[in-house]
Structure 1
C-alpha cells in the first residue's frame, strides 16, 4: 500500500485565525495599490484595475461578462483561497479556460502595513461569501483506481484535480487501490476522525466499495454520517458525479468538491443468500443489467457499449420471467410529481432533516436493523408476490442519472426515503422500445404510458431461470439469484452542489 501527502505551506496560512470572528465588518471594498480596488459584489468579487486595459488577452473567468476594460468579475464560487503575507494579498481562484475545464490561478496586490488589519478583515468576509455553507480546507482521503476506465485516473488526478485541491488549502492524503475490494479494506480501517471526505478518482465502483467498507464497521452509522463520499469522474461510468455535480469533468468536479455541501443520502440494504451489503446508485435485472454486464468485452466502445447492448436485446424482444413483491409508498405518477416538487421547493425541510439525521446517526453502532427482514425470511406482512412472465426491464434507482443523458429516474431525491422503481414489459413493440431509448435523453421517458414508475420502500425479486442472467448492483455483478432491497433514509453522506437535490432535470 503506497501513500503520499500534499499540503500548502505558510504562504497560504488561514487569515481567519488572525481575525476575531466577532469583529464588525462594514467595508466591502479594499483599496490595493494605487490604481486598483477589490469589491465584494452580490455574487462575485469585482476587481477594478487600471492595468487591465494595458494587458491584451487578459481573461479572469468566462462566467460573467466584464462591464469595462478595467473591471473583471470573479464569481465567489470560483474563489478558492485568499491570504495576506509579507509580499501582499493573494487570491487564488479557479479560472474557466473552456466549458469543461478550470485551472487554479491567482492575482496579487501590495497592501500598505497600515491597511493590513482592514485587509485581513476583508479577506475573512471574502472567504465567508465564497464558501457559505461549505466547509473550508477539507481533509480529503483521495483514492485513485489506476485500473478503472481507460487507465487514466492517475494522470487526470495530477493534471486536473490535485491543483484545485492544493490551491483551496485542502489537506490531501493520496492512496492507490491495488485490487478489487481494496477500497473496502481501506474504508473498514479508516480513521474517521482524520478525514472529512473520501474522494474516489474512479468510476462508480470505488464509491460502492467505500460505502460498503464503512458499512462493515462496528461504528457503521457514525462512519457513514461523518465521512462524505464523493466521486471525481475518472471511469467509464460516472453517474455519481453527474448527479451530485452535474459534470463529467474531473477539474469541475474537483471545484464542486471543494465547494460541496454535506448532504444526507439514502442507502439501500441488499440481502442475497446469507449476505447483506449496501447500494447507493441502482439495482437492475433485465435489459439494463445485461446490457451493462454482458458487454464488458466492448469497453473499447466507452459508454456506447450500453446503447449497443440495449438495442441488440430490444430487437430480440428478450424477456426475463420473475416473481416480484413490492412495498409501494407512491404509485400514481402525478402524485410522485407533486412529491418531487414539494421537496424541490422546501430547502428548510431538508436542512432540518439533515440536522435530525446527524443527531440520530451519531451513535457508535452498526448498520440499522432490517425492517423487512432478509430475502430468506417469510414475505413481510402486506407484501404479495406477483408473477411477471414477460418482464423486459426491472430498474430501481437511488439517483436520477445512470449515465450521461440517461435520466431514468427524474423523480429521484437524495433523501426522501424512497427507491424509484421502473418496470417495462418485454412484449412492447420494437418501435415503442426504440422510442423509449430516445425518450430517456429527451426527458419524455417518465410520461410514456408503458413505463411503470413507482416510489417504494423495498422489494423482493425472484428470477425464474436462475442459471442464466445478470443482476447489477451499482454497476457491479452479483450472483443471479433472488435478492431483497430495503431503503435507509439518510444513512450515507455525500457532497452536492445544492445540498438537497440532484443536478438532473426533474419531473
Structure 2
C-alpha cells in the first residue's frame, strides 16, 4: 500500500472511500439496498460508485465531513464540477483498516495529480474577440467553475487590443505564476511566446513559464494538440491535471525582424485559406475548409526559390523516426543548459534571409508549388491533422509540399484525406523532416504568408527550429494527435532514423 492503492477511509453509515489503482471508490450499502444512486454520476444501481482519479480536483475535511470535488462529464461536449460531501464515521468507531482523514486526503491528492502541480497559479488572458466570440461566456460558464473547484489561484485580464498579450507576457513576474493561460484562439498564445521572447532573459523566461490554452477561437490548434480537444471545459481539466513539458519553437526572420512560431509557417493555398477568410470568422473552423475549397479550383501555383535543411527525406524514415521517439521519455525530460536559461533568445545557427546562403544550402526554383506548409504541431484545427508525424520536442519541423496544378478532383481528394487520416501516405503529398528553410517568393507583387495564423509581409523569410526552447502545459507530455497511418508497423530495424 506504499502508493496508496487500497487505502480506505471510514464514513458515516458504514460508507467507505477507497483509493484504487485508477479510481476513487465510494461504497454505500444503503444505495445497494434501496437501488438509489444519489451521489455518484459515473455508475448506477450499485453500492460502489467510482470517480476516475484523473477527475478528482480537490479534497478536504471540515467539521468532521469530507468533501471531494471532481469533474463530471455532463455530456460529450462539456465537463462540469460536482462534489461528494459526506460525514466521517464517529471517532470512536471500531471498523478495521480505518485511515485518518488528513492522511487519506494527502495520499488521494498525490495519486490524483501525479507529476502535475496542484492548485496551479495562472495568469489568464481572455481575448473576447477570438474566433466567433464568446470567450468571456466560455470562461465564466465552463472554465472558471472547474478551476475554482480545483482551488487554482487566478489573476484574470480581459484583453482590449491586439498586441496586449505580448506586452503583458514581456513584463510578467515569472515566479508569481505556474502558467500564462490564453483564453482565446491561437493568436494569443503566439503573442505570449513572443512577449516572453522579447525579454532580456528570454531563454530563462521561455524555459520557466509554461503557456496553456483555453480554446475559444476558430482553429484552436494549441488545445487540440496538447489536450486532445477543442472544447473549453475539456481543455480546462487537462490543464488542471497537465504537466509542464518542453516544446520546440521556431525562429522566423524577415528583414531585421525575428519572431517566434509555435505552430506553422505557410505560403500558398493554406495561407490564403486562413488569412484570406478573416472576414468569415463567424463561421468558426469551417472558414478554413471553405477557403481551401474555393481556392483549389483556381489551380494557383506560387513560384518561389527554396532552400531547405533536410534531416529526414523519405516518408518511411519519417515513420521510423516517429515510432522511435513517440514514447521516448528523453524528449519529455529535455534539459536546457544553464547558459541558455540566463540569456536572451538562442543565437541563429543559419542567420537570416538577408545573409548569404548557409554553406551546403542550395536555392532551387519551384514553379508549381501550391502549398508550402511547415508545421510544429499535428493538428492545425479540429480534424485537420496535417502533420501526423510531428513530435513535441524532437528538434525538427515537418514540411508538407503539394503541387498547385493538380486536377481539381485530385486536389480535392488530397485535402479530404486529411480528415480521413490518409494524408501522410497520399502520393501527391511530399513530407519531410527539416531543421531550417529559406523561401523567396517570385513573380508576385503580393500574397499571403501565415505564421501561426498571423500575417507576415509578402517577401523572403527564413526559419529554423530550437529544440525544447518553450514550455507548455500538456495533458501527457506529448502531442495528442494520432501518428502517421500504420506507423506502428514500421520497425526501427527497417530504417535508420535520425
Q: Is 1:491 aligned with 2:469?
A: yes
1:217 aligns with 199
Kindly state the Cα deviation for residue 55 of structure 1 after the two structures are TM-superposed.
Answer: 7.2
Select 2:423's aligned residue among 445, 450, 454. Answer: 445
Contact 1:466 1:480 in 2 (8 A): no
1:7 aligns with none
Select 2:22's aligned residue among 43, 47, 61. Answer: 43
What number of residue pairs does the alignment pair up?
A: 478
2:63 aligns with 86
Q: Is 1:427 aligned with 2:405?
A: yes
Call closer, same or farther: CA 1:272–1:149 in 2, change over 3 Å. same
1:198 aligns with 180
1:381 aligns with 359
1:454 aligns with 432
5+ long unaligned stretches in structure 1: 1-22
> For 1:50-449, what aligned pairs fall within 5 Å after superposition?
50-53=29-32, 54=34, 56=36, 58=38, 60-62=40-42, 65=43, 69-111=46-88, 112-113=90-91, 118-347=100-329, 349-353=330-334, 356-357=335-336, 359-360=337-338, 363-449=341-427
Contact 2:6 2:19 in 1 (8 A): no
Deviation track 1:136-189 (CA, whole Å, cap 9, x = no partner) reads: 111000110011122211111000010111111111000011100000000011
SS in 2 for 1:363: helix
Call closer, same or farther: CA 1:89–1:69 in 2, change over 3 Å. same
Kindly state the Cα deviation for residue 236 of structure 1 after the two structures are TM-superposed.
Answer: 1.4
Q: For residues 70 and 25 of structure 1, what CA distance do their matches in structure 2 show?
A: 22
Contact 1:260 1:497 in 2 (8 A): yes
Contact 1:268 1:279 in 2 (8 A): yes
SS in 1 for 2:51: strand
1:12 aligns with none
Kindly state the Cα deviation for residue 468 of structure 1 after the two structures are TM-superposed.
Answer: 1.8
Kindly state the Cα deviation for residue 226 of structure 1 after the two structures are TM-superposed.
Answer: 0.8
Q: For residues 386 and 171 of structure 1, what CA distance do their matches in structure 2 show?
A: 53
Range moving further from structure 2, 163-172 or 105-114 = 105-114
Kindly state the Cα deviation for residue 470 of structure 1 after the two structures are TM-superposed.
Answer: 0.2
Range moving further from structure 2, 27-36 or 37-46 = 27-36
Contact 2:5 2:21 in 1 (8 A): no
Call closer, same or farther: CA 1:55–1:194 in 2, change over 3 Å. farther
Range moving further from structure 2, 110-119 or 35-44 = 110-119
Kindly state the Cα deviation for residue 60 of structure 1 after the two structures are TM-superposed.
Answer: 3.0
Q: For residues 185 and 35 of structure 2, what CA distance do their matches in structure 1 show?
A: 42
Task: Give the RMSD, CA atoms, in angstroms.
Answer: 1.8
TM-score normalised by length of structure 1: 0.91
Kindly state the Cα deviation for residue 466 of structure 1 after the two structures are TM-superposed.
Answer: 4.5
Q: For residues 169 and 254 of structure 1, what CA distance do their matches in structure 2 show?
A: 13
Q: For residues 29 and 362 of structure 1, what CA distance do their matches in structure 2 show?
A: 47
5+ long unaligned stretches in structure 2: 488-498
TM-score normalised by length of structure 2: 0.92
Q: For residues 352 and 469 of structure 1, what CA distance do their matches in structure 2 show?
A: 40
1:4 aligns with none
2:491 aligns with none
